[in-house]
């Protein structure tokens, strides 16, 4: 196992230790034990930075299911390494922040840190996986672990609903991603992402290329909250602030961005990829910014701003993909700038948005509310929090001297690059795209000012607050202060970041000559269009903010009944009502009815398959080979079955059932299957013994006349099952399509070291099936035990009351 495998798998192993640490070292906050892990991961990843910045890559493979080409293959290049830095670095800051934010007496800290470590490991697995199956495994694990994190305060209905919505949307997108993965493997014949990308030229002519692209994009859009899948992100803000800062500013929502960037070398350079990504990104940018302005909850404002910023990054990746479609050096460099802007803003967004989430958490923690209608005048009471909010908000607004200004300028440059292009018939869109980008940036400036001034300026209203405001303890301020320092530091020294971080990222997304160029970032480019667009954003944004009270009523004009969020809620409600109504129809409470459903469906599906496939074949049976004792045994079987049906006493029925089982065992002996005979005898003996043990506890057996409306369906089901099994037997006897598999199992001793063929099949040849069956039995046993325990607890409580 390599160091890279250790980086990915260590969080999972560490998660197993947390419950024990929590139990035996309860005097110390559990976060202090978790904090060293992301720091160690960050240092390990940092040791590879110089090599990766010089163009090297690393690939390590751990065999998993090599016969199917499924391995834990982890790959490090510029793109995956930077995501690894964000996951581990911001993860360390979030853990430090949570130590002071979450109370060790009131919160289930062991659950919190177990879920967080699971998510950290899953995200590292996503960004480092080279094998598509491993990629998908970790991809879905991020959805599961984020569901647990969002529902951490499960006592709250909003937390449960938010977690459910996030789970449904992201997992549904995950199924789409899986479909895309299956198509990619079908096209390329390999699960290796690098191997598939190396065949990009050939695969773009394949008939499955476009469906695979669409399925992959749906999965990526759902994970990164792109329109129309964005509705899960605002509701996910019901999670504790450390979770919001980690999942929704730096990690989970960036997983879809990572997928788009990773698959750009494969799908980029095509008109479909450009139009879909650019259009969805710009719509998301605009719609998120519009909705952010009308929020009164600070976390909801940040949620919609995150949606908007993710749309900005997505649109830039779409524009930048044109670098793979052009041949002239000047055009290539122009579109490569868009990819540079995307990865630059991705890093910047993680810094300023993580800082803002943590500061909003501080405000909520110290005042008891996040409602801007109750807040105001906090600048003198919380000066450090105000300073951090100012830095993060102005960076988000794209104002100098903060890092957001640099990437926003590159965004304007990239959007203007389409103004005069004719590629993919983008001439008209060349004017629309920069216009949308500019208007959305104005709205971004407005909600950034709302965040600053409606929280820290204005009238101080202490009666509306649940707590007396005060500055947060120093420990809670360290993490946002570190991120704020990066916000400022990147602005003044952007080219350090450019050389070691941005250049390798661009080279990973645009392989070949398109990504091979030197990056030099400057804050001042003279008096150009981008500068005037920025000045326009500041001027018009300031005017809109100053006149906010006069025009904010426009948001009430749009009926809420037509929103996507309302459509989702209505759809879930109607689905629940339909399921409830349908369940009431077939849930009669009678075991007889449930057996009829199962057997009836079996008859229809299996019998229909046999009928339409013409699989039934009647062959003449040579009755001369049937011995008299075989006939007698068959008669005994029929007689035993009839006795069970007609018995008037339960003991008689039990004995008849045992007789049928033992007669079947004799048939196994006759057909030279001693293993099966022994297994049948043991099972039958144990079953009869258990029946007899339970006999004294069962109510008296009463034979009652059954109504015709019950008898007729029973007769039809019984005849149908009998005919079906007979037909299957005839089909098996009459259609020998392949050699008998029993020949393979006869070598069980040589293959598995077992003289008992049945044991070899159960424990070796189909060991996973047996393992899953055991798991099902264990889960069922735990369920029964839980129900009995709850029932006994209720009885004790009733007795005590």
Q: Hunting for tokens 């993965």 — which residue is that?
A: 181
Task: Look at residue 693 in the predicted model and tell me its pLDDT.
Answer: 80
Give the C-alpha separation, 33 to 99, whole Å: 10
Work out the widest C-alpha separation in the chain, in whole angstroms. Answer: 106
Question: Tell me, what's the pLDDT at 65?
Answer: 83
The residue-averaged pLDDT of 288-293 equals: 92
For the beta carbon of residue 157, count every other beta carbon within 10 angstroms.
9
ω into 312 cis (within 30 of 0): no
Q: Is 490 exposed, middle or buried (0-12, 13-18, 19+ CB in 10 A)?
A: buried
In this predicted structure, the answer to whether residue 7 has a pLDDT above a threshold of 60 is: yes
Q: Please give the pLDDT value at position 419.
A: 65
Q: What is the rounded average pLDDT of the residues 272-290?
A: 92
Reference 293, options 150, 447, 147; nearest CA is 447
Min mean pLDDT across 356-360, 432-436, 663-667 is at 432-436
**Computed over its alpha carbons, how large is the radius of gyration of the chain?**
33
Compute the Cα dihedral for 518, 519, 524, 527 and give only its sign. Answer: positive
Question: What confidence score (pLDDT) does residue 505 get?
Answer: 92
What integer best gives the mean pLDDT of the chain? Answer: 87
Residue 592 has pLDDT above 90, yes or no: no
Phi and psi at 423, nearest 5°, equal -70, 135
DSSP letter for each residue of 275-292:
HHHHHHHHHHHHHHHHHH
Kindly report the backbone phi and psi dihedral angles of residue 606, in degrees, each rounded to the nearest multiple of 5, phi listed first. -70, -40
DSSP 775-792: HHHHHHHHHHHHHHHHHH
Strand partners, 129: 74
Residue 428 pLDDT class (50, 70, 90 cuts): low
For residues 114 and 556, which has the higher predicted lDDT (pLDDT)? 114
The rounded distance, in Å, linking the Cα atoms of 5 and 171 is: 25
Q: Which of 49-58, 632-641, 757-766 has the lowest mean pLDDT?
A: 757-766
Structural contact between residues 370 and 357, judged by C-beta atoms closer than 8 angstroms:
no
| pLDDT above 70: residue 800 | no
Q: What b/e readout covers 306-344, taking b as 16+ CB neighbours within 10 angstroms?
A: bbbbbbbbbbbbbbbbbbbbbeeeebbebbbbbbbbbbb
Q: Which of the four pLDDT bands, split at 50, 70 and 90, describes residue 513?
A: low
pLDDT band at 109 (very low <50, low <70, confident <90, very high): confident
Token reading at 430: 């060349």
Cβ neighbours of residue 2 closer than 8 Å, sequence gap 6 or more: 60, 62, 74
Q: Which helix (H) or strand (E) holds 158?
A: helix 157-188
Structural contact between residues 641 and 659, judged by C-beta atoms closer than 8 angstroms: no
Q: What is the pLDDT of residues 137-159, one digit of tens each?
A: 999 999 999 999 999 988 888 89
**pLDDT for residue 426:** 56
* Band of pLDDT at residue 421, cut at 50, 70 and 90: low
Higher pLDDT pick, 3 / 257: 257
Whether the per-residue pLDDT at 112 is higher than 60: the answer is yes
Q: Which residues on neighbouring strands pair with residue 459, listed in sequence order?
A: none
The fraction of the chain above a pLDDT of 70, given in percent, is 94
Angle at 374 between CA 451 and CA 98, to 5 degrees: 65
Q: What is the mean pLDDT of residues 764-782?
A: 86
Number of neighbouring beta carbons within 10 Å of residue 786:
10
Query: What mean pLDDT do residues 443-466 have?
Result: 89
User: Residue ranges of the domains in the chain?
Assistant: 153-567, 591-734, 766-801
pLDDT at 341 (0 to 100): 92
User: Contact at 8 Å (CB) between 226 and 314?
Assistant: yes
For 235-252, write each residue's pLDDT tens digit: 988 888 899 889 877 788
Q: CA 199 to CA 106: how far, in whole Å? A: 55
How many angstroms separate the Cα of 58 from the Cα of each of 137, 224, 261, 503? 21, 27, 19, 17
- Residue 580: Cβ within 10 Å count: 9
Selected residue with higher pLDDT from 792 and 402: 402
Task: Return the closest-CA partner of residue 222 out of 264, 170, 262.
Answer: 170
CB atoms within 10 A of CB 47: 9
State how far the Cα of 782 lies from the Cα of 263, in Å rounded to an integer: 44
Task: Report in angstroms the alpha-carbon separations of 119 from 130, 138, 350.
Answer: 19, 9, 17
**pLDDT bucket at 613, cuts 50 / 70 / 90:** confident
* Alpha carbon 790 to its chain's center: 33
Residue 683 has pLDDT above 70, yes or no: yes
* Distance of alpha carbon 90 from alpha carbon 45, whole angstroms: 13
Phi, then psi, of 728 in degrees rounded to 5: -60, -40
d(CA 357, CA 396): 12
pLDDT on residue 429: 62
Q: End-to-end distance of the chain based on CA atoms, in angstroms?
A: 59
> Which pLDDT does position 514 carry in this prediction?
60
Residue 9 C-alpha from the chain's centroid: 18
* Contacts within 8 Å (CB) and 24+ apart, 646-652: 648/701, 648/703, 649/701, 650/695, 650/698, 650/701, 651/695
Residues 745, 750, 754, 756, CA torsion sign: positive
Between CA 602 and CA 106 the distance in angstroms is 52
Of 385-399, 425-439, 482-496, give the lowest mean pLDDT range. Answer: 425-439
The DSSP call for residue 189 is S
Output the CA torsion sign for 440, 441, 444, 449: negative
CA distances from 85 to 91, 414, 661 (A): 9, 26, 64
**CA distance linking residue 129 with residue 123, whole number of Å:** 10
Confidence of residue 422 (pLDDT cuts 50, 70, 90): low
Residue 716 has a CB neighbour count (10 Å cut-off) of: 13
Eight-class DSSP state of 206: S
pLDDT at 707 over 90: no
Reply yes or no on whether the pLDDT at 522 is more than 90. no
Closest listed residue to residue 506, CA positions, set 629, 646, 335, 380: 335
Cα dihedral 489/124/140/20 (nearest 10): -110
Q: Residue 428 in 3-state DSSP?
A: coil
Cβ atoms of 168 and 134 within 8 Å: the answer is no
- Summarize pLDDT for 197-213 with one digit per residue, the tens: 999 889 988 999 999 99
Question: What residues contact 613, with CB distance under 8 A and at least 6 apart?
Answer: none
Q: Interior CA angle at 407 toward 403 and 411, to 5°?
A: 160
> Model confidence over 714-760: pLDDT tens digits?
888 989 998 888 888 777 776 666 777 777 777 777 777 777 777 78
Distances in Å between the Cα of 504 and the Cα atoms of 110, 324, 518, 686 are: 38, 17, 10, 67
Residues 6+ apart with CB under 8 A from 345: 309, 312, 313, 316, 404, 407, 408, 410, 411
Q: Are 134 and 70 in contact (CB under 8 A)?
A: yes
- In Å, how far are 187, 196, 215, 216 from 208, measured between CA atoms? 7, 14, 11, 12
427 pLDDT higher than 60: no
Bond from prior residue into 401 cis (ω within 30 degrees of 0): yes
- Residue-by-residue DSSP string for 577-623: HHHHHHHHHH--S-HHHHHHHHHHHHHHHHHHHHHHHT--------G
pTM to 2 decimals?
0.82
Q: What is the pLDDT of residues 303-316, one digit of tens each?
A: 999 999 999 999 99
Higher pLDDT, 498 or 325: 498
Digit-coded pLDDT (tens) for 40-79: 999 999 999 999 988 899 999 888 888 888 888 999 999 9
Cα–Cα distance, 498 to 340 (Å, whole number): 9
Confidence of residue 23 (pLDDT cuts 50, 70, 90): confident
Measured between alpha carbons, how far is 406 from 595 in angstroms, rounded to an integer? 68
**Choice among 554-563, 567-576, 652-661 with the minimum mean pLDDT:** 554-563
Mean pLDDT, rounded, for 456-474: 86
d(CA 612, CA 627): 36
Strand partners, 131: 192
Polymer length in residues for the chain: 801
Q: Of 182-196, 320-334, 417-431, 662-676, which range is least confident?
A: 417-431
């Amino acid at each position: 196992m390599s160091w890279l495998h250790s980086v990915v798998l260590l969080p999972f192993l560490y998660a197993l230790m947390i419950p024990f640490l929590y139990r035996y070292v309860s005097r110390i906050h559990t976060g202090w034990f978790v904090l060293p892990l992301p720091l160690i991961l960050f240092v390990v990843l940092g040791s590879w930075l110089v090599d990766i910045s010089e163009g090297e890559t690393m690939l390590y493979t751990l065999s998993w299911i090599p016969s199917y080409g499924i391995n834990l293959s982890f790959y490090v290049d510029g793109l995956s390494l930077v995501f690894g830095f964000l996951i581990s670095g911001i993860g360390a800051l979030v853990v430090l922040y949570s130590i002071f934010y979450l109370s060790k007496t009131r919160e289930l800290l062991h659950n919190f840190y177990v879920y967080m470590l699971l998510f950290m490991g899953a995200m590292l697995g996503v960004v480092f996986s080279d094998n598509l199956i491993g990629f998908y495994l970790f991809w879905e694990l991020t959805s599961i672990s984020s569901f647990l994190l969002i529902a951490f305060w499960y006592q709250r209905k909003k937390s449960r609903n938010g977690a459910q919505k996030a789970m449904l949307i992201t997992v549904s997108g995950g199924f789409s991603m899986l479909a895309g993965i299956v198509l990619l493997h079908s096209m390329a014949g390999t699960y290796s992402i690098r191997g598939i990308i190396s065949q990009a030229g050939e695969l773009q002519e394949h008939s499955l290329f476009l469906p695979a692209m669409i399925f992959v994009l749906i999965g990526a859009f759902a994970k990164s909250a792109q329109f129309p899948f964005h509705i899960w992100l605002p509701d996910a803000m019901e999670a504790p602030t450390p979770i919001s800062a980690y999942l929704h500013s730096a990690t989970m929502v960036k997983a879809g961005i990572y997928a788009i960037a990773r698959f750009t070398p494969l799908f980029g350079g095509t008109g479909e990829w450009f139009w879909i990504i650019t259009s969805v990104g710009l719509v998301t940018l605009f719609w998120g910014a519009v909705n952010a302005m009308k929020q009164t909850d600070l976390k909801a404002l940040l949620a919609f701003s995150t949606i908007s910023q993710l749309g900005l990054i997505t649109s830039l990746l779409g524009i930048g993909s044109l670098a793979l479609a052009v041949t002239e050096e000047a055009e290539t460099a122009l579109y490569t700038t868009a990819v540079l802007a995307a990865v630059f803003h991705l890093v910047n967004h993680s810094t300023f948005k993580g800082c803002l989430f943590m500061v909003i958490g501080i405000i909520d923690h110290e005042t008891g509310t996040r409602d801007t209608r109750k807040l105001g005048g906090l600048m003198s009471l919380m000066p450090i929090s105000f300073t951090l909010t100012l830095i993060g908000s102005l960076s988000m607004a794209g104002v100098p001297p903060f890092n957001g200004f640099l990437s926003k300028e590159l965004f304007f440059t990239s959007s203007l690059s389409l103004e005069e292009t004719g590629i993919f018939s983008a001439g008209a869109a060349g004017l629309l795209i920069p216009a949308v980008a500019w208007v959305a940036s104005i709205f971004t400036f407005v909600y950034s000012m709302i965040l600053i001034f409606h929280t820290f300026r204005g009238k101080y209203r202490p009666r509306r607050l649940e707590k007396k405001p005060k500055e947060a303890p120093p420990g809670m301020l360290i993490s946002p202060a570190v991120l704020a320092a990066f916000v400022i530091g990147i602005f003044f020294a952007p080219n350090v970041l450019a050389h070691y971080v941005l250049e390798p990222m661009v080279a990973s997304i645009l392989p070949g000559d398109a990504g091979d160029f030197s990056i030099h970032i400057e804050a001042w480019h003279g008096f150009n269009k981008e500068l005037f667009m920025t000045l326009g954003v500041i001027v018009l944004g300031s005017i809109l903010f100053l006149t906010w009270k006069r025009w904010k009523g426009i948001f009430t004009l749009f009926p809420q009944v037509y929103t996507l969020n309302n459509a989702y809620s209505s759809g879930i409600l109607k689905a629940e009502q339909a399921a409830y109504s349908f369940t009431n129809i077939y849930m009669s409470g009678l075991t007889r009815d449930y057996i009829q459903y199962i057997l009836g469906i079996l008859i229809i599906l299996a019998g229909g398959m046999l009928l339409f496939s013409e699989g039934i074949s009647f062959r003449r049976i040579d009755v001369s080979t049937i011995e008299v004792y075989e006939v007698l045994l068959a008669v005994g079987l029929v007689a035993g079955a009839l006795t069970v049906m007609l018995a008037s006493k339960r003991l008689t029925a039990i004995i008849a059932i045992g007789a049928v089982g033992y007669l079947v065992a004799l048939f196994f002996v006759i057909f030279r299957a001693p293993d099966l005979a022994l297994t049948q005898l043991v099972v039958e003996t144990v079953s009869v013994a258990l029946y007899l043990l339970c006999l004294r506890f069962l109510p008296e057996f009463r034979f009652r006349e059954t109504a015709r409306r019950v008898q007729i369906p029973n007769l039809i089901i019984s005849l149908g099952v009998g005919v079906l099994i007979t037909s299957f037997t005839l089909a098996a006897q009459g259609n020998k399509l392949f050699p008998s598999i029993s020949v393979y199992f006869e070598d069980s001793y040589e293959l598995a070291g077992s003289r008992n063929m049945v044991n070899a099949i159960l424990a070796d040849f189909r060991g996973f099936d047996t393992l899953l069956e055991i798991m099902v039995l264990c889960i069922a046993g735990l369920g029964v035990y839980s129900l009995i325990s709850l029932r006994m607890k209720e009885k004790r409580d009733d007795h005590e009351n």
